Amino acid sequence: MSDTAQALVYRIGEVRPHPNADRLELTDIAGYQMVVGKGEYKSGDLAVFIQPDSVVPQTEPFKFIWGQAAAEANGLPGVPTERQFDGNWEYAIPVPEKARRIKPRKLRKEWSEGLLMPVTAFSGFFPEGSDVAGQLGITRFNPDVDVETPAAKQASPRRRYPRSVKGWVRFLFYRALAGLGLRSARANAAMEVAFQAPVYDVNALKNAGARGFKPGERVQVTEKIHGCNARYVSVDGVFYVGSHEQWKVKGSNYWWNAANALPEIEEWCHANPGKILYGEVGPSQKGFDYGSDGEPFFYAFDVWVPEDGENYGNSWVWPGNLGFAPTVPVLYVGPYDKDAIAKLVDGPTTVPTSLGKKHIREGVVVRSLETGRKLKWVSNEYLKG
């Protein structure tokens, strides 16, 4: 169920007028709407469509993305300097991923969901229907990279110092511990395990096309919680804690913090050995604490049941069916209706809170109750933020 970057070569279909702008037009690409300049494309043209949440490389064809405005917004000292060397452009100042991330934008009240570029903007052979993400160096934006690999932060040339007396006390305290060898980066270090566990990814509903859900198919729609992907399991009496792709050495990190704060996670795992509990932990992203006031949270969204002679055998099961709570909020159960589900994608979170803190919804996950297939629909309002 990988969700990798895609840059697909499409032939433009219908181009229609923009309802609110004389100099803009609209066209649909594989379920995504694009706003284009009037006369920029005509039906039958070949173009490269780069999906939202992709990161384009620091190469000449994409230079326009991080112009002066983008540089200033991201704290860069103006437009990165450049020089040409043997026909290749070299940028003296690295441009951070956030300045190269493709986001949806609203142009005169219409969403433009991605980046559309003519094939003539690139050199090479671009056959219709091909995915040229690898060829162009396009990757998927991963907001949890810093969390997964703390060393990446340490390699940054920018050092952030505390802004309060309390912050300086903690800063100097931990530096002293590190100097004595009493504290290290192993709090987030990966560990080797002797068992196999699926890496949990869900593809975008808009990418599925005809491979998505059938009208009337019975589905369950849940809110997509914004945090860090987590997984927990008990094997031979040992409790394991993992992130999206790593099993973590016990220490102070988002995944172990949630397990320590919520003992029901470990209790459930020991009561259901071998079953892997997947969910979202946090708060790990600014503005998305879900009313926890900084305290760790965990919302389960799936369980992997290995082949063990039970009726489930090698399948994904909704955690509520196996007696675990809390789960991500269920927003709808019933026949699949794309238009009705579209109305659930945006809006404030539905996570109950007594602290009155509300923020936007990241989106939804649609799960077939007939086949188990799962697809996500991420909010444009969230992606553009």
Q: Is 70 exceeded by the pLDDT of residue 360?
A: yes
Q: Do residues 284 and 278 touch, judged by C-beta distance below 8 A?
A: no
Q: What is the pLDDT of residues 302-325, one digit of tens each?
A: 999 987 545 555 589 999 999 999
pLDDT of residue 48: 96
pLDDT on residue 74: 52
d(CA 351, CA 288): 11
> Which class is domain 205-383?
alpha beta
Please report the pLDDT score of residue 241 as a whole number: 97
**pLDDT reported for residue 149:** 35
pLDDT at 120 over 50: yes
Cβ atoms within 10 Å, residue 4: 13
Q: What is the pLDDT of residue 82?
A: 54
Higher pLDDT pick, 247 / 143: 247
**Would you state the structure tokens that stand for residue 224, as one six-digit string?**
């997509």
pLDDT given at position 167: 55
* pLDDT the model gives residue 352: 79
Say how far apart CA 221 and CA 209 lie, in whole Å.
18
The band of 145, judged by pLDDT with boundaries at 50, 70 and 90, is very low
The pLDDT value recorded for residue 153 is 31
Tell me the pLDDT band of 270, cut-offs 50, 70 and 90: very high
* pLDDT given at position 66: 66
Range name among 102-106, 186-190, 220-224, 349-353 with the lowest pLDDT average:
186-190
Instruction: Identify which of 370, 335, 325, 329 has the alpha carbon closest to the alpha carbon of residue 353.
Output: 329
Neighbours of 124 (CB within 10 A): 8
Give domain limits for the chain.
Answer: 7-140, 146-183, 205-383
What pLDDT was estimated at residue 253? 92
Among 99-103, 156-160, 226-230, 375-379, the minimum mean pLDDT is found in 156-160
What's the whole-number average pLDDT of the chain? 82
Quick: pLDDT tens for 18-53.
999 999 999 999 889 999 999 999 999 999 999 999
DSSP 3-state assignment of 25? strand
Q: Which amino acid is at 285?
A: Q
- pLDDT exceeds cutoff 60 at 2: no
pLDDT in tens, 48-68: 999 999 999 888 888 888 665
- Residue 211 has a pLDDT of 77
What's the pLDDT score for residue 157?
A: 33
175 Cβ contact partners less than 8 Å away, ≥ 6 residues apart:
none
Q: Would the pLDDT of 155 be above 80?
A: no
The percentage of residues in the chain with a pLDDT greater than 70, rounded to a whole number, is 76
What is the arithmetic mean of pLDDT over 371-376?
92
* Dihedral in degrees, nearest 10, Cα atoms 111, 113, 117, 122: 160
State pTM to two decimals.
0.76
Q: Averaged over 68-82, what is the pLDDT?
A: 51
Q: Which of 13-17, 197-201, 340-344 is predicted with the least confidence, judged by mean pLDDT?
A: 197-201
Q: Does the pLDDT value for residue 89 go beyond 70? A: no
Q: Which of 197, 55, 254 is nearest to 137 (CA)?
A: 55
48 touches 6 (CB < 8 A): no
Q: Which pLDDT score, from 0 to 100, does residue 181 have?
A: 47
Model pLDDT, residue 249? 93
Query: Which one has a higher pLDDT value, 164 or 219?
Result: 219
Element housing 16 (H / E): strand 15-18
